[in-house]
Amino acid sequence: MRKKKKRFQVRFHLGKGANYMCWQVKDYGIGSRAANNGVAVDTDYYPPSTVSLELTNCTLKNSPKTAMKIFNGQHKTVCAWVECDMVDVNYKKDPSFKKVDTKNLRKYKYNPKKNLHWFTSKCINADDKELAKMHTNNRALYGQVSKVSTQHS
């Protein structure tokens, strides 16, 4: 059975221009991506110095074929993202903002020049890992590991 696509796609934007090194959040709306009926996807960019994103019901995704090309020295292009059901944007200037406490969270990384997969200090392949919550802290991505994935520890 095919899994339903999640509403949001989040990644760190490394393309040249005004949004370089910002968090990119794509909102595909309710329903599947194919059900967009030609309507443009809502895309927002957030500088990591001004916000912390909280992602709910997340899956770490990537394109292994594209990652392999980059690993072998080809031009870097989009090949990894987080799919999630909800994105909460927390502005650091907001008086009620609380900094993310990362000491009990695991840091997730993606760099196809070093590793073809999402990885952590404890896991060399976290592709398709499901996490109940993830948080951005500046340019880093952290996850709570309470939701168990059937593929990875």
Q: Give me the residue label for tokens 């989009």.
A: 78
Q: What is the pLDDT of residue 12?
A: 96
39 has pLDDT over 90 = no
- 67-103 per-position pLDDT tens digit: 999 999 988 889 999 999 999 999 999 999 999 999 9
Helix (H, G, I), strand (E, B) or coil at 123: coil
Look at the block and give the residue holding tokens 């443009």. 40
pLDDT single digits (tens) 96-145: 999 999 999 999 999 999 999 999 999 999 999 999 999 999 999 999 86
* pLDDT score, position 75: 85
Per-residue DSSP letters for 34-49? GGGTTPPPEEEEE-TT
Whether the pLDDT of residue 34 is over 80: the answer is no
d(CA 150, CA 96): 37
Q: What is the mean pLDDT of the chain?
A: 88
Q: Where are the domains of the chain?
A: 8-143
| pLDDT, mean of residues 48-66 | 96
Cα dihedral value 116, 144, 85, 24, nearest 10:
-50
User: Do the Cβ atoms of 138 and 49 come closer than 8 Å?
Assistant: yes
Alpha carbon separation from 92 to 8, 22, 102 (Å, rounded): 22, 15, 16
Q: How confident is the model at residue 5 (pLDDT cuts 50, 70, 90)?
A: confident
pLDDT of residue 76: 82
Give me the pLDDT at residue 149, please.
Answer: 47
Highest mean pLDDT among 37-41, 85-89, 145-149: 85-89
